[in-house]
Structure 1
Amino acid sequence: MDVRGRGARQGRLVAAVAAPLLLMAGTLLAEALQPPGFDPLDATLSDMASLDAAHREVMTGVIIGMGAWFAVTGWWLAVVGKAGRIMLGAGGAACLGIIAYPVSEDAVPLQHFVFATLAFSALSLWPVAGMRRSVDAPWPVRPAAAITVSAVLCVLSAWFTVTVTREAGMGLPEHILAVIQVTWPSVVAFASRDRPRAAAAPSPGRREYAEQAR
């Protein structure tokens, strides 16, 4: 591998470590900056980026970073099937849509609800959509791991939906869901870090020429 390719790979691995840290550290900071009486177990990430939140720029920046991470990994995680990569990128774009239409204490814009639904759906289903059955595929991309992760994410999404309808306890399922959604692309990136590029198959013409040369 040349220096340029090695540098790109190392940069991706650094990003794979930084993305989960950004989410967790940024969330803790945003929670700490909220006024007394704030309960993170009863608040969503969107609440901390709402128009009424204290220092909303912190969580706004975190969600933008998450969206960028999903979009970038959807582009360069070549070991993932095409459908999964598209869904991962779409989930990242939906995160940016969430920020474009923030909630307030008085209202939740319809656009925010739509983008949040798209984000949670795409980011929960991309592992199973992008799984590969090849024995050479990294273990996180194979059916057993991919189906399991998507199932767990769907269960967490359902739990989160129930808490939203009850308007209580939304923070815990969303925090767990967000951490897994941000971390799983990192797991795939590290599992595939040493995979060499597949050599291109020779064209029929070149194969015939090689046989004649013998």
Structure 2
Amino acid sequence: MRRDAVARYAFVSSAAAPVLLIGGWTLAAAVQPGPSLQRDGYDSLRDTISALAGYGAAHRWIMTAALLGVGICHLVTARGLRPLALPSRVMLGVGGAATVAVAALPLPAAGTSGAHQTAATLAFACLALWPALWRHPGGAVPRPPVAVMIPATLVMVALVLLFTAALGSGVLVGLAERLAAGAQALWPLATVLLLRRPAAVTAILG
């Protein structure tokens, strides 16, 4: 295999990330207790993903393990995306490391955690922006093409801003977070597929 080709293991790691994340939040939400006189039940449209791994959650190990796995997957994928410029791969790797930190710094049973919020903010920022840095300066025709990577970055940034607005208003916070986090988990896989099949992409984009 050429040294500038995508590593085969990057396909496995990038495919595993969205499976772990979406499967994790689905399973973890399903095992939360229902509403009672003392507290409301968990609501995926209203409540955050981090709440499923917090100290107040039932079976918190499920979401903790999922977040840890997602972070490791991003780190592995970043190493395998060799055709991309180094700043892009570093940012994806930092996003992965920050996701591991999110798992390692859970929310308390009540209130917030500054360390957790810092790790989550860094993860969301890096995982939204890394596609914009993929191109080698002065290089040949970029792979994947500009028409794909820049719009992808803009969409993920917009979803993060939507999540930020939802946090401020308290409306549909869980839904907004899942849209942003889901898109960020899927894009490394999309990038690997684009790099592995450049001819098909060229034909589609003209």
- Partners of 2:105 and 2:23 lie apart in 1 by 24
Q: CA offset at residue 113 of structure 1?
A: 1.1
Give the counterpart of 1:147 among 135, 139, 150: 150
Segments of 5+ residues of structure 2 without an aligned counterpart are: 35-40, 199-206
The Cα shift of 1:194 comes to 5.9
Give me the whole-angstrom Cα distance separating, in 2, the residues matched to 1:177 and 1:190: 20
Contact 2:16 2:73 in 1 (8 A): no
In the alignment, structure 1 residue 191 sits paired with structure 2 residue 189:
no
Confirm or deny: 8 A CA contact 2:13 2:74 kept in the other structure. no
TM superposition score normalised by structure 2? 0.83
Aligned-partner Cα distance in 2 for 1:194–1:148 = 19
Match for 1:50 among 33, 46, 54?
54
The residue correspondences of 1:22-101 to structure 2 (distance < 5 A) are 22-36=20-34, 37-101=41-105
> Following TM superposition, by how much is the alpha carbon of 1:14 offset from its aligned partner in structure 2, in angstroms?
2.9
The answer to whether residue 131 in structure 2 is matched with residue 127 in structure 1 is yes
Contact kept, 8 Å, 1:19 with 1:183, in 2: the verdict is: yes
By how many angstroms is 1:35 displaced?
1.1
Once the two structures are TM-superposed, the CA of residue 167 in structure 1 deviates from its matched residue by 2.6
1:134-155 C-alpha deviation (Å, 9 max, x unpaired): 555433xx32211111111111
- Identity %, equivalent residues: 35
Q: 1:180 aligned to 177, 180, 183, which one?
A: 183
**Structure 1 length-normalised TM:** 0.80
Change in Cα spacing, 1:50 to 1:57, as seen in structure 2 (3 Å) is: same
Kindly report structure 1 stretches of 4+ aligned residues shifted beyond 3 Å. 131-137
By relative contact order (CA 8 Å, sep 6+), the higher-ranking structure is: 2
Q: 1:59-105 CA distances to partner (integer Å, 9 max, x unpaired)?
A: 00111011111111111101211111110011111111112221124
Q: Which protein has the larger Cα radius of gyration, Structure 1 or Structure 2?
A: 1
Contact 2:16 2:70 in 1 (8 A): no
**Secondary structure of 1:160 counterpart:** helix
Report how many residues are paired.
187
Please provide the CA RMSD for this pair: 2.0
Q: Tell me, which stretches of 5 or more residues in structure 1 are unaligned? A: 3-7, 196-214
Q: Give the drift of 1:45.
A: 1.0
